[in-house]
Structure 1
Amino acid sequence: MRIYKFGGASVKDAEGVKNVASVLKATGYDNTLVVISAMGKTTNAMEIVIKNYFENKAELQSSIHDIIKYHNEILLDLFSNEQHQVFAAVKALFDELNLFFKSNKSPDYNYVYDQTIGFGELISTTIVSHYLNEIGIKNSWVDVREFIKTDNYYRRSNVNWEQTQENILAGFDTSKLNITQGFLGSDANNFTTTLGREGSDYTAAIFAYCLNANSVTIWKDVPGVLNADPRYFENAQLLHQISYREAIELAFYGASVIHPKTLQPLQRKEIPLYVKSFLNPKADGTCVSKGKTIEPQIPCFIVKKNQILISLSSLDFSYIVEENISEIFGLLHLYKMKVDVIQNSAISFSVCIENIYNNLEKLLQHLKAKFNVTCYENVSLYTVRHYNEEAIDELEKDKTVLLKQLTQETVQIVTK
């Protein structure tokens, strides 16, 4: 059994969908599960729809129509017969989306987000599945929500592994090509949940673990895992081999090529992960498996934009001790802040966070009751694995360094 995952960039238009078919023909597709993300920037567009639902109802239908138009153009490029059943199937999904907005009574943003954001994946897989069947690559469309079960921590749900394993072993036909959605699951009440942004890689790993797959391949628009994101760094180089441990470290620090949770289930069963280019499917790409830590041994650069740095000190210049730190982390947990860096001294404590749930103001109000608080918004967090002095000097050039932390293998620098 092989698991393939195609991201949004690989199916952003009709040519991309046709290229997915070419990759399957070139590599074979027997006993294969294909996990597919939403097309292009659909998830971003769906987030605008959700924002309009809560804040600007007058623009809601217009923002939905933009997504309908985008997908219809892809459909018309792929299917010459407008009576093809795929048109009705896609329309039914958009009708379901509209019906939810009309009937929903919940004011919970996170719940509404999860019930609606995944229509991008449902639509993309519907289109790809119909197209592959049309050109003779026979496959079955599978609703991932029937298999992956989670809790109801909306927008970042946790997998119920026991139930998921049971569902997949009992109801999944591995003898044919299956097409399913990344990113999605469902809770005990069958409400849709999501695994976190970019969670389609994690979906592939969940199925690989439960099916004891031979391998997982993530198809991307880059040659494999690079030592830096070419959008932000020049002269990025291909990494040929990475150990599971090293890949988990890179993902934890924010390397966008692999979802942070993807590696853990693969490592437990030693299932190799390949990252390859859908533009050059026969190239080797990068292999993540047991073996060398990293090959070649060069610095790896990661940047996270739009971070928040909060620096705290005690009101009376007393020490920041265990009790204070425990309270601070209790508040970070309460307001669902993702922590990327911490640093403390005798009378100060700094933390770099992501404000995913827009709870920053509530957090700051709570902290100001007990601490002196300085908050820097829109900062950048740079992480370098296997750093050298040249790499640090290059990062710090022409930047204001707000925080810097070094360990034996890793340096993290927060800049404004």
Structure 2
Amino acid sequence: MRVFKFGGASVKDAEAVKNLVSVLKETGHENTILVVSAMGKTTNAMEAIVNAYFDDKEQIKSNIQESIDYHNSILINLFDNEQHPIFEKVKALFDEVLGFLAWNKSPKYNFVYDQVVGYGELISTTIISAYLNEIGIENNWLDVRDFIKTDNSYRDVSVNWEKTQQKVSAGIDQKKLNITQGFLGSDDNNFTTTLGREGSDYSAAILAYCLNANSVTIWKDVPGVLNADPRYFKETQLLNNISYREAIELAFYGASVIHPKTLQPLQQKEIPLHVKSFMNPKNPGTTVGKGVGIEPEVPCFIVKKDQVLMKLSSLDFSFIVEDSISELFKLFHEYKMKVDLIQNSAISFSVCVDNRFGRLNELLPLLKGRFKVVHYEGVSLYTIRHFTDKAIDSLQNGRQVLLEQRGTETVQLVVK
């Protein structure tokens, strides 16, 4: 049993969907489950619908129509007959979105977000399943919400592994080609939940774990795992092999190729993860598995943009120790601040956080009530694994370094 995950870029238009078919023909598609993301930038489009629901309801229908038009253009280029049932199926899914927004009474953004945004995946997999059947590749469409069960912490759920294992073992026929959605699950009341942005990789790992799969392959628009993001760094190198431990370290620091939660279930059962190019499926790409370090061993650069650096110091020169630090982390958790870096001395505490839920302005007054606070918004956090002096110099060149922290294998710099 293999699990293939295809992201949004790999199914962004009709030609991309046809290329997915080419990948399946090249690699074979027996005993395979496809985990597929929303098409192109659909998740962004669905988020715009949610925002319109809360901020400007008159925009809802036009926002939905834009997404309908985008998907219809893909359908027209995939199916010769515009009377094909798939057109009505896709329309029905968009009608479900409008229906939910019409009857919903919940004022909670995160709940509404999960009920709406997940339709991107439901629509993409419905289209691709129909197209595969149309060209003679029989497949079984699955609603992943029937299998991955979670709590109800909408937008940031935890998986109920016991229930998920039971559902997967009982409900998925491993002898067929199956296609299902990434990113989604459901709670005990069968409301849709999401696993976090870019959570489709995690979905693939969850299913692989429960199915005892032989491997997971993530198909990307890059040749594999690179030592740096080519959008921000020049002269990147392909990493041929990475150990689970090294990959988890890279993911923890923010490497975007692999979702941070993806690797843990795979490591538990030693299921290898392959990251390959959907444009060159014959190329070996990168293998993440049991082993030592990385090959080749080169500095690996990771950047997190638009972070917040806060420097806290005690108002009365008292020590910042366990009770103060415990209270700080409780606040960071409560206000959903992801802590990426900490550094402390006797009377000061510096922390770099990701203000991904936009609650910094709520948190700052609470902190200023107990500490002297200096904060910098819009900073970048650079991490270098297996650093060299040359690698550090390349980042410091022309930038103001606000904080530096070094370990034996890793250096982190917060810069403006």
TM-score range, shorter-chain basis?
Answer: over 0.9
SS in 2 for 1:197: coil
2:257 is the counterpart of 1:257 = yes
5+ residue gaps, structure 1: none
TM-score by length of 1: 0.99
* Aligned-partner Cα distance in 1 for 2:381–2:350: 13
SS in 1 for 2:15: helix
2:351 is the counterpart of 1:346 = no
Please show how residues 225-240 of structure 1 align to structure 2 within 5 Å: 225-240=225-240
Corresponding residue for residue 297 of structure 2: 297
Q: Is the 8 A contact 1:241 1:292 kept in 2?
A: no
* Aligned-partner Cα distance in 2 for 1:44–1:404: 34
CA displacement at 1:356 relative to structure 2: 2.0
Please show how residues 51-200 of structure 1 align to structure 2 within 5 Å: 51-200=51-200
CA displacement at 1:320 relative to structure 2: 1.1
5+ residue gaps, structure 2: none
Corresponding residue for residue 10 of structure 1: 10
Corresponding residue for residue 19 of structure 1: 19
CA displacement at 1:88 relative to structure 2: 0.6
CA displacement at 1:65 relative to structure 2: 1.2
SS in 2 for 1:266: helix
Q: Is the 8 A contact 1:34 1:178 kept in 2?
A: yes
Amino acid at match of 1:122: L
Instruction: Give deviations 1:329-379, integer Å, cap 9, x for gaps.
Output: 110111111111111111111111111222111111111110111121111
CA displacement at 1:415 relative to structure 2: 0.8
* Aligned-partner Cα distance in 2 for 1:324–1:64: 48
* Aligned-partner Cα distance in 1 for 2:59–2:313: 44
Please show how residues 302-341 of structure 1 align to structure 2 within 5 Å: 302-341=302-341
Instruction: Give deviations 1:159-190, integer Å, cap 9, x for gaps.
Output: 00000000000111111000000000000110
Corresponding residue for residue 224 of structure 2: 224
* Aligned-partner Cα distance in 2 for 1:99–1:400: 51
SS in 2 for 1:394: helix
Instruction: Give deviations 1:313-332, integer Å, cap 9, x for gaps.
Output: 11112221111111101101
* Aligned-partner Cα distance in 1 for 2:126–2:393: 49
2:399 is the counterpart of 1:382 = no
* Aligned-partner Cα distance in 2 for 1:375–1:55: 29
Corresponding residue for residue 361 of structure 2: 361
Q: Is the 8 A contact 1:4 1:35 kept in 2?
A: yes
Corresponding residue for residue 50 of structure 1: 50
TM-score by length of 2: 0.99
Amino acid at match of 1:252: F
* Aligned-partner Cα distance in 2 for 1:61–1:375: 40
* Aligned-partner Cα distance in 2 for 1:158–1:138: 33
Corresponding residue for residue 32 of structure 1: 32
Amino acid at match of 2:220: K
* Aligned-partner Cα distance in 2 for 1:398–1:57: 46
SS in 2 for 1:159: coil
Amino acid at match of 2:18: K
* Aligned-partner Cα distance in 2 for 1:217–1:31: 14
Identity of aligned residues (%): 69
* Aligned-partner Cα distance in 2 for 1:375–1:71: 43
Q: Is the 8 A contact 1:338 1:353 kept in 2?
A: yes
* Aligned-partner Cα distance in 2 for 1:309–1:369: 18
Q: Is the 8 A contact 1:301 1:382 kept in 2?
A: yes
SS in 2 for 1:414: strand
* Aligned-partner Cα distance in 1 for 2:64–2:354: 28
* Aligned-partner Cα distance in 2 for 1:68–1:401: 46
CA displacement at 1:215 relative to structure 2: 0.3
SS in 2 for 1:398: coil
Aligned length: 416
Instruction: Give deviations 1:215-253, integer Å, cap 9, x for gaps.
Output: 000000000000000000000100000000000000111
